[in-house]
Amino acid sequence: MNNKFQNFEERVQYLKEKAKEVRVNIIDMIFIAQSGHPGGALSAADLMTALYFDILKIDPKNPRWPDRDRLILSKGHACPVWYSCLAMRGYFPMKELKTLRKFESILQGHPDMRKTPGIDMTTGSLGQGLSLGVGMALEGKLVKKNYHVYVILGDGEINEGQVWEAAASASKYKLDNLTAIIDKNGLQMDGFTDKVMPMDPINKKFEAFNWQVMTINGHDMKEILITLEKAKKNKNKPVCIIANTVKGKGVSFMENIRKWHGKAPNQQEYEIAIKEIEENNDEIK
């Protein structure tokens, strides 16, 4: 993807524009469905855009290309961000986005590997994605392929003990083809993560499991790109990128508000949200 740009700035600018489109699609599809999870989809929008429009080695015409990079959205409820990226990359027609959560849609309420082209693994039950990623990364090592496995986790789901079982096993097998990205938006369904179940310091926990840890601003496209490239080159250890994000990022009235975890906007809210995303030309920091 990145060959077509004159310089890094252009590349970043392109991705910022794409991220806007991804956000518009998220709001659009959740509005049409009148159901879904906007908060966690918006917080992951910049990370997912960077992956799907730059970092991932993929071929939308050949979704099961054996050499492709794999992505697992462990926080499966945020799938509108995944579906937006996949549709925009041409895995399926954009019009399918209007069928989110509808009867017999290819876009299930939570991701389904058998129904949606481009979905590498079914997800939706929290705390399991990192284990699934460990299995895929082990497969990559077994068949000696160079693909990379990315797992996007929420900071709430790391409450699950299984995440730490997976962390131990990834380091046992020195899975340097595995990168976990924690979308640390600070909120889970019932409130702020530090109130519901404090998990900080997350970096020290992963370091203690012998992971390479990198911490970034998950909305700073430059930092995202630089860090993802660094993660891909890392050797002998799995990488955990802790991406500090804002839940609901890009729509002012959704930002940092608990109730926007799993709620659809009404007509008026929808219009304001789209306008805000489209008009936002600020340098996001």
Partner 1 sequence: MKSSKADIATRQAFSERMLEYGAIDKNFVVFEADIGYSTYSYLFGDAYPERYFNMGIAESNTMAAAAGMAAEGRTVIVCGYGVFITMRAVEAMRTFICYPNLNVKFLSSHGGVTPAVDGVTHQATEDIAIMTTLPNMKVLAPADTESAKKIFDVAIKTPGPAFIRLMRDPLFDIYSKEDTFEIAGSKTIREGKDLTVVTYGDIVFQALEAADELKKENISIEIIDMYSIKPFDKKNLLSSISKTEALLVVEDHQKRNGLGYELSNFCLKNKPVIFDNLGLNDTFAESGNYYKIINKYGISKKQIFNKVKELIYKKGGK
If one asks whether residue 185 binds partner 1 (CB under 8 A), the answer comes out as: no
If one asks whether residue 183 binds partner 1 (CB under 8 A), the answer comes out as: no
If one asks whether residue 166 binds partner 1 (CB under 8 A), the answer comes out as: yes
Residue 50 vs 149, nearer CB to partner 1:
149
Least CB distance to partner 1 at residue 93 (A): 23
Window contacting partner 1 (CB under 8 A); options: 51-59, 82-90, 121-129, 192-200: 121-129
If one asks whether residue 122 binds partner 1 (CB under 8 A), the answer comes out as: yes
Residue 142 vs 235, nearer CB to partner 1:
142
- Exposure of 116 by Cβ count < 10 A (0-12 exposed, 13-18 middle, 19+ buried)? buried
CB atoms within 10 A of CB 27: 28
User: What 3-state class would DSSP assign to 66?
Assistant: coil
User: What 3-state class would DSSP assign to 154?
Assistant: strand
The tokens describing 268, both together, are 């008026």
Q: Are strands 178-184 and 149-154 parallel, antiparallel or unpaired?
A: parallel
Residue 138 vs 226, nearer CB to partner 1:
138
Q: Which of 128, 171, 185, 188 binds partner 1 (CB under 8 A)?
A: 128
If one asks whether residue 188 binds partner 1 (CB under 8 A), the answer comes out as: no
If one asks whether residue 159 binds partner 1 (CB under 8 A), the answer comes out as: no
Q: What is the DSSP code (8-state) at residue 65?
A: -
The tokens describing 224, both together, are 């995202």
Window contacting partner 1 (CB under 8 A); options: 11-19, 112-120, 185-193, 272-280: 112-120
Size of site (CB under 8 A) for partner 1: 28
- Helix boundaries (H) for 58-121: 79-88
Q: Whole-angstrom Cα distance, residue 21 to residue 46?
A: 11
If one asks whether residue 105 binds partner 1 (CB under 8 A), the answer comes out as: no
- The residues pairing with 214 across neighbouring beta strands, listed in sequence order, are 241
Residue 169 vs 188, nearer CB to partner 1:
169
Closest CA to 23 of 282, 279, 283, 274: 274
- Helix boundaries (H) for 129-260: 129-142, 161-172, 193-196, 202-208, 221-233
- For partner 1, the binding residues in 61-90 under the rule CB under 8 A are 72
Q: Whole-angstrom Cα distance, residue 39 to residue 42?
A: 5
Which x/- pattern over 129-158 shows residues binding partner 1 (rule: CB under 8 A)?
A: --xxxxxxxxx--x----------------
Q: Which of 8, 34, 67, 113 binds partner 1 (CB under 8 A)?
A: 113
Window contacting partner 1 (CB under 8 A); options: 9-17, 19-27, 128-136, 239-247: 128-136
Q: Whole-angstrom Cα distance, residue 189 to residue 183?
A: 14
- Catalog residues that contact partner 1 under the rule CB under 8 A: 72, 112-114, 120-122, 124-125, 128, 131-139, 142, 161-162, 165-166, 168-169, 172-173
